[in-house]
């Protein structure tokens, strides 16, 4: 068995190569979709899709990486590791494993959670057809922060502005909740959901309409980083306790499942993640989980989020200060330490195996 950190990469080009090599070694069907833009060094960007198992398949496990751009290094490493160790994962006669590698490659290459249009792809997946109602505080916070001029102010001025915002808007948790809820009306603002299907959503839809023909049961595992204890992989379900989708994930993993909403950093969504896929593929039932890996202390890195946003949307991310902020932002979402990547791989493999095994009892459920 090949073990980490060999699965994990330091650049988008290396991640693509590692994934492609592992897919070929595993005998997977491999496709790529080029992105219209390039990375900061002019490197080509792409989404890669690898499939192993039955074709067509009644059961499909979809594993996604890079939905939030820079968070994709962890998921890409897990996906490469799965392909390198495919024999340890049991695929039934009617089961396929579908790995969508770096669905937002631009964000990973440029140290952004968002895509090249400043769109949060995860929220675009959920809300582009049914816009969310923004928190009433969002505009007031955005106006006061005035991120377009963040770099024009001194550090002391920005500190004073933050203190004023905290006092005016009810504290940090209240502000985080308002910003993280997001919005559709300020394309240059933080947590922008977009006004139409973003590029990544269009690619995902086109791929799934083809790959899920004949699928009746779809499990989705979307891998993220930046929340939770260091190196710990927290399984989340946005479906409420008691919902059959939530209870499936709980039974498959054999542990309590985190339900978002109690912490401002992980807001609750009123929709089941990836349930919209049932609108694309007739007859498919969808059960989705988020696998979230903790990194560094968020309270010590809060200022990175507006600063990184400023340099990408209003400034120059390739300037000296833009690069410095981008490097710190990247490390927050991808620490890269050997112990961290080993924990990520072990947990990722464990949850992947549990979700594949879960197809058996799911098929036995009463309609």
Which helix H or strand E contains 152, and what residues bound it? none
Among left, alpha and beta (phi > 0; psi -120 to 50; other), residue 251 is alpha
How does pLDDT run across 280-329, given as a tens digit for each residue? Answer: 999 999 999 999 999 999 999 999 999 999 999 999 999 999 999 999 99
Domain boundaries, the chain: 12-133+188-295+334-362, 138-181
- Residue 256: the pLDDT is 87
How does pLDDT run across 166-201, given as a tens digit for each residue? Answer: 999 999 999 999 999 999 999 999 999 999 999 999
**CATH, domain range 12-133+188-295+334-362:** 3.40.630.10
- Residue 366: the pLDDT is 77
Mean pLDDT of the chain: 96
Average pLDDT of span 62-70? 98
Share of the chain above pLDDT 90, in %: 95
Asked if 98 contacts 211 with a C-beta cutoff of 8 angstroms, the reply is yes
Give 1's pLDDT tier (boundaries 50, 70, 90). Answer: low
Say if strands 95-101 and 59-64 run parallel, antiparallel, or are unpaired. Answer: parallel
Average pLDDT of span 246-264? 93
Contacts made by residues 357-366, CB under 8 angstroms, sequence distance 24+? 357/90, 357/252, 358/219, 358/248, 358/251, 358/252, 359/59, 359/61, 359/92, 359/95, 359/217, 359/219, 360/92, 361/251, 361/252, 362/59, 362/217, 362/248, 362/287, 363/59, 363/217, 365/244
- Residue 73: the pLDDT is 98
* Helices vs. strands in the chain: H and E counts, helices first: 14, 7
């Amino acid at each position: 068995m090949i073990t980490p950190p060999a699965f994990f990469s330091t650049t988008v080009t290396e991640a693509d190569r590692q994934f492609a090599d592992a897919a070929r070694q595993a005998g997977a069907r491999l496709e790529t979709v080029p992105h219209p833009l390039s990375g900061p060094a002019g490197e080509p960007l792409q989404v890669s899709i690898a499939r192993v198992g039955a074709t067509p398949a009644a059961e499909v496990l979809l594993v996604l990486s890079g939905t939030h751009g820079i968070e994709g290094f962890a998921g890409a490493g897990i996906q490469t590791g799965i392909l390198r160790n495919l024999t340890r994962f049991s695929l039934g006669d009617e089961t396929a494993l579908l790995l969508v590698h770096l669905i937002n490659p631009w964000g990973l290459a440029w140290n952004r959670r968002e895509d090249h249009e400043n769109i949060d792809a995860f929220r675009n997946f959920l809300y582009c057809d049914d816009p969310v109602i923004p928190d009433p505080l969002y505009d007031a916070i955005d106006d006061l922060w005035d991120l377009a001029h963040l770099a024009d102010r001194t550090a002391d001025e920005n500190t004073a502005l933050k203190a004023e915002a905290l006092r005016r808007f009810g504290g940090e948790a209240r502000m985080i909740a308002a910003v993280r809820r997001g919005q559709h009306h300020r394309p240059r603002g933080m947590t922008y959901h977009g006004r139409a299907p973003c590029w990544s959503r269009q690619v995902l839809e086109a791929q799934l309409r083809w790959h899920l023909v004949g699928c009746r049961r779809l499990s989705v595992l979307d891998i993220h980083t930046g929340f939770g204890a260091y190196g710990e992989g927290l399984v989340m379900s946005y479906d409420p306790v008691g919902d059959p989708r939530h209870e499936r994930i709980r039974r498959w993993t054999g542990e309590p499942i985190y339900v978002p909403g109690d912490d401002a950093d992980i807001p609750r969504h009123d929709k089941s993640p990836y349930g919209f896929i049932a609108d694309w593929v007739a007859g498919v039932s969808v059960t989705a989980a988020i696998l979230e890996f903790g990194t560094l202390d968020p309270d010590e890195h809060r200022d990175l989020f507006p600063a990184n946003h400023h340099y990408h949307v209003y400034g120059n991310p390739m300037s000296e200060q833009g690069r410095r902020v981008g490097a710190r932002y990247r490390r927050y979402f991808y620490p890269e330490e050997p112990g961290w990547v080993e924990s990520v791989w072990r947990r990722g493999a464990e949850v992947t195996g549990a979700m594949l095994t879960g197809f058996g009892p799911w098929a036995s459920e009463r309609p």
